[in-house]
Structure 1
């Protein structure tokens, strides 16, 4: 209930996974090296 993902194929055949959800659910799933990047994006987006 706190996370949703969809897979989309673009015009050149590449597949993309889009995920939305509560930060306390999604952040633990992100690889360690990317957590800080994700937190910075969240902070920028919330402004």
Structure 2
């Protein structure tokens, strides 16, 4: 759980059910340099640093 209250796995799941392609999230791999998470408003830059 992040300090913002977000549960990382829950956010990845929510992103996954909306996504129509296989992304690294599918394997619970989070690349902090991948801008997809910020562009899709899944995690903020601060949250990615925390992860």
Does TM, scored on the shorter chain, surpass 0.5? Answer: no
Greater share of helix residues, 1 or 2?
2
Greater share of strand residues, 1 or 2?
1
Compare relative contact order (CA 8 Å, sep 6+) and give the higher one, 1 or 2: 2
- Larger Rg computed on CA atoms: 1
TM-score, normalization: structure 2?
0.28
TM-score, normalization: structure 1?
0.29
